[in-house]
Amino acid sequence: MLLSDSHSFAFVHVPKTAGSSVTVALGRYATCIDRYWANRWLARAGIPVNHLAPWPYTKFRPHASAATLRAWLPADVFESLFKFAFVRNPWDLLVSYWHYLRSKPSHRRSHIARRLPTFATYVEYEIRRNRFSQTNLLCDRDGRLLVDYVGRYESLAGNFAFVCRRIGIEADLPRLNAGDRGDYRDYYTPPLVARVAEAFAADVERFGYAFEEGP
């Protein structure tokens, strides 16, 4: 999550959609929330959020939802911000997340991903966990989209350039946390393709994805 008072934007960070790269690229234009004394004190105490801080120093979790943003910001501020996010093909996103977790021992869920014997069992784990929905991060409970612009990981460079023009800045997008794990389609059997299509139907339908779509 990035908020900017000076450039009037909010970036909602969907995991594994180049959000780290976007955060680095736009970080210098965001409000420095750690300048606020209460945020510094809470950080030392191990508390990563401060929803009660005055705007623009409200501090959210890195992957806070757009609904959380709307709930805690003043209504006029929320409406005035250009709110954007990036999404990714769910089948590709699952492969990327699986490799990421298995390669990051410091991540709190890495041991789970490394313990699961196959990619298919990891997919079932994420489905049971029920916290993987991109739709839930960007929409309200009635399915209404709460952000103004949804870019796609598959056309990241052009979509990020649009965002920069919209908020009136120039920024280069670095390549961070990229992995070399081949074509995501090679990880799937037909039954597993169908399983993901069913479990993440909301994302597939809303964002127009298909398994056959290239990276």
Q: Tens digit of pLDDT for each residue in 170-188? A: 999 988 766 678 899 999 9
Burial of 209 (0-12, 13-18, 19+ CB in 10 A): buried
Residue 189 tokens read as: 């059997």
Measured distance CA(30)–CA(15) in Å, rounded? 19
Q: What does the domain layout of the chain look like in residue ranges?
A: 2-207
pLDDT at 7 (0 to 100): 97
Second-level CATH architecture of 2-207: 3-Layer(aba) Sandwich (3.40)
pTM beyond 0.85: the answer is yes
Tens of pLDDT, residues 34-73: 999 999 999 999 999 999 999 999 999 999 999 999 999 9
Per-residue tokens: 16: 């594994």
What the block records as the tokens of 211 is: 């398994």
Residue 213 has pLDDT above 80, yes or no: no
Residue whose token pair is 């739709």: 135
